Chains A and B, each alone.
Chain A
Amino acid sequence: MESALVEEITKKFDGATPRESIDHPAVNIPVDLLLSVVEWLRDEKSFDLLMDVTAIDWSEDASPRFTGIYHLASTTKHEYIRLASNCEDDVEPELPTLSKLFPAANWHERETYDMLGIRYKGHPDLRRILMWDDYPYHPLRKEFPLAGIDTDLPAADVAEATGAKVIPAPMMGGPFHAPQTGAMSKREPRAADQSWNEAKPKPSTN
């Protein structure tokens, strides 16, 4: 979307490019400029409300693999802007933290770290927030199966006493959708995750 604000940002900050968007103004920002752009938007352009921090995983073999997405709003002018920043490292993705500019970023960044494994440089308290502390995976990454992965229980003593584990969810029977690519004759609707099916039996629960 064409907008005067996008033009101003791309002129002022070297390397910032307009981003395709169908609703709000959107800009691609190089990682090292992200903090200064956000600070400028907050102080000069009254984008004082950080609505959302998230990221997109472009799949395992894409490079750059992760893009951080930020949504800022203005409580006085009722405008929105979307910022996007690619992580330079594909294996150990990292972005600068916004928690010094916006306290709201604290939890949002913890969540993005938990779900996608992006580390926020300078974050005061980068712990897991939705999963438990020792959980070994980042579930929103594209290679993580919908059913989940076999994992030990968070408490070792409970696991020892009960012999229980966190087992993948039975996905047989749905949710169904057809693949979006390929010849139509091959696009049979199938379960989104084939963790177990007729050919591969359900993992035993004991």
Chain B
Amino acid sequence: MASETEISYGDIAGRAAQFESDDLHGEEMLLNMGPSHPATHGVLRLKLKLDGDVISGCDPVIGYLHRGDEKIAENMTYNQFVPYTDRLDYLAPLANNVAYAIAVERLAGIEVPARCQAIRVICCELARISSHLLGLGVYGMDTGALTTFMYTFTEREKLYTLFEELTGARFTTSYTRIGGLTRDMPDGWMGRVNNFCNQLVPIIDELDKLLTRNRIFVDRTRDVGTITKEDAIAWGLTGANLRASGVELDIRKAQPYSGYENYDFDVPIGSAGDAYDRYLVRMEELRESIRIVQQAISKMPDGLFYNDEAKKIFAPRKDKVLTSMEELIQNFMIVTEGPQIPAGEVYFEAENPKGVLAFFIHSKGGGVPYRLKIRGPSFCSLSILEHICPGHYMSDVPVILGSLDFVMGECDR
């Protein structure tokens, strides 16, 4: 095509016109990012349509980590499903355990004692700290700041040691049961959590200094992946992603569960809704979580860590099982047939680190849920990608992905 038009090489305007007429700018390239790519944070595949360096289309492909959790849940008893909730948001298993346990307890209509609620709040907030530490550290790495990752991973390691003391496992905690917890806190654990929180504050300040006014970080995240208030609501975003767009919705405040109404904390709200705002909101949430944990520790109530009244729901203590026939039978029934939950429908939402994790349970009565639907926040966060990616540069994609802070285990279930 170019050879047919005659132009002199001194003619700049003609050369520009030739470039325009060439197909060079019109041609689109399809680029597959993932399913296995360090910037996609898991097995996510993005089909990107590129016009030069600019994205003109984005089609997220998910399902590489689909394990059929809902099908599994419908084929086992309520307590047997607790370990599977660990694998939803595998960066914050304790928060998932708590959300699931409360959902079933709402269905059964049982209340857990105040001590159990307070321990659960500590669990949820420590899980949030753990998840945000990883999210922010890896986010720094996505934008080229490797140091933050080293800082936050060291802190998470300390948290895992605390989790191990509490639950017996570092990663897959399975800590809750329907109607209570597996065990009480070990001696001195609250003191160690308090110490951890105290030493975390200066480290968050350090992180803040490293990133918040870092020229490279700000330039790479400001006005990138902007989500307006209307879009955030329309696409069903929740959690920090929604609040960064300026919507004041935090389930812990709006519909308090597990005694969240007893704690004094603020909900950080963003204004612009870009990647930088989402970072700021998470950074503030870290500080708020520390506040909640320290309040829960300072006014930890005495009492039982399980509901003693719910005879058909919560398994009796093991020392009783070994000495009393009544308790042995009760234990056998709960282990084999599952906790007996009445018929009904429940939809419980918990404010998890990644957003709102909700369980919809339809029960026909008995030990097995008839239908259990898990609403993972990451699923909704990812659906907005095809809307916000076009118009950005290829190099913005890792920043957008990192700022949405998703986890594929929860997206694919």
The answer to whether A52 touches B62 (Cβ under 8 A) is: no
- B380 touching A192, Cβ below 8 Å: no
How many B residues touch the partner, as a band?
35 or more
Task: Please encode chain B, from 218 to 236, with 1 for each CB lying within 8 Å of some chain A CB and 0 for all others.
Answer: 0000000000000001111
Whether A175 contacts B358 by the Cβ 8 Å rule is no
Q: Is B370 an interface residue (CB 8 A)?
A: yes
Do the beta carbons of A26 and B76 come within 8 Å of each other? no
**Which single residue of chain B is at the shortest CB-CB distance from A80?**
B347
Q: Is B360 an interface residue (CB 8 A)?
A: yes
8 Å CB interface, A169-203 against B: 175-178, 180, 187, 189, 192-193
Knowing A107-B379, A107-B380, the reply to whether A176 touches B336 (Cβ < 8 A) is yes
Q: Which of A122-150 contact B (CB under 8 A)?
A: 128-132, 139-140, 144, 146
Residues of chain B lying within 8 A (CB to CB) of residue A180: 337, 365-368
A48 part of interface (Cβ distance < 8 Å): yes
Report chain B residues within 8 Å CB of A139: 68, 71
Q: Which residues of B contact A178 (CB under 8 A)?
A: 336-338, 367
Q: How far is the CA of A54 from the CA of B380 in the complex (A)?
A: 14
CB closest chain-B residue, reference A187 = B337
Chain B neighbourhood of A52, CB < 8 A: 347, 358, 360, 373, 375
Is A102 an interface residue when CB atoms closer than 8 A count as contact?
Answer: yes
How does the 8 Å CB contact mask read for A56-97 relative to B, with 1 for contact and 0 for none?
110000000000010100010010101000000000000000
Scan A101-127; emit 1 where CB is below 8 A from any B CB, else 0: 011101110010001000000000000
B249: chain A residues at CB < 8 Å are 49, 75, 78
Q: Is there an interface contact between A69 and B360, defined as CB atoms closer than 8 Å? A: yes
Question: Which one of A48, A51, A69 has the highest number of Cβ atoms from chain B below 10 Å of its Cβ?
Answer: A51
B367 adjacent to A106 (CB under 8 Å): no
Cα A9 to Cα B281 in complex, Å, equals 38
Chain A, interface SS category: loop
In contact, B347 and A130 (Cβ under 8 angstroms): no
Cβ-defined contact, B109 with A75, below 8 A? no
Q: Pick from A128, A189, A192: contact of B75, CB below 8 A.
A: A192
Q: A69-B360, A146-B75, A177-B367 are in contact. Are A102 and B234 (CB under 8 A)?
A: yes
The one of B345, B375, B383 that contacts A82, using a Cβ cutoff of 8 Å: B345
Cα-based distance from A132 to B62 in the complex (angstroms) = 10
- The interface bits of chain A over 40-58 (1 if a CB of B lies within 8 angstroms of the residue's CB, else 0) are 0000000011111010110
Closest to B368 in A: A177
Measured between beta carbons, the chain A residues less than 8 angstroms from B347 are 23-24, 51-52, 71, 80, 82
How many Å lie between the Cα of A43 and that of B26 in the bound state? 41
Within 8 A of A (CB), among B332-373: 336-338, 344-349, 356, 358, 360, 362, 365-368, 370-371, 373
**Least CB distance, A141 to chain B, in whole angstroms:** 10
Docked complex Cα distance between A22 and B363 (Å): 12
**A21 interface hit (Cβ, 8 Å):** yes
Give the complex CA separation of A146 and B66 in angstroms: 14
Bound-complex Cα distance A129 to B370 (A) = 23
A132 with B63: CB separation less than 8 A: yes
Tell me whether B147 is interfacial, beta carbon within 8 Å: no
Are B373 and A54 within 8 A (Cβ)?
A: yes
Chain A contacts of B107 at CB under 8 A?
22
Known: A51-B356, A52-B358, A102-B234. A130 touches B66 (CB 8 A): yes
- On chain A, the residues within 8 Å of B346 by CB distance are 22-23
Q: Which residue of B lies closest to A176 (CB)?
A: B336
| B75 and A71 form a contact (CB under 8 A) | no
Among B248, B347, B348, max chain A CB count under 10 A is at B347
Q: How far is the CB of A105 from chain B (nearest CB, A)?
A: 8
List residues of B (103-120) whose CB comes within 8 Å of A's CBs: 106-107, 109
B72 close to chain A: CB less than 8 A: yes
Minimal beta-carbon separation of A149 from chain B (angstroms) = 12
A7 within 8 Å of B (CB atoms): no
Q: When the two chains form their complex, are residues A104 and B66 in contact, meaning their CB atoms are under 8 A apart?
A: no
Cβ contacts A to B, 23 pairs, < 8 Å: A48-B233, A49-B233, A50-B236, A51-B236, A51-B375, A69-B360, A75-B248, A80-B347, A82-B345, A102-B236, A103-B234, A103-B383, A106-B383, A107-B383, A115-B70, A130-B63, A130-B413, A140-B70, A140-B71, A177-B80, A177-B368, A187-B337, A189-B337
A residues neighboring B (CB under 8 Å): 19-24, 26, 48-52, 54, 56-57, 69, 71, 75, 78, 80, 82, 102-104, 106-108, 111, 115, 128-132, 139-140, 144, 146, 175-178, 180, 187, 189, 192-193
Nearest 4 pairs of A and B residues by beta carbon: A104-B236, A180-B366, A192-B75, A78-B254
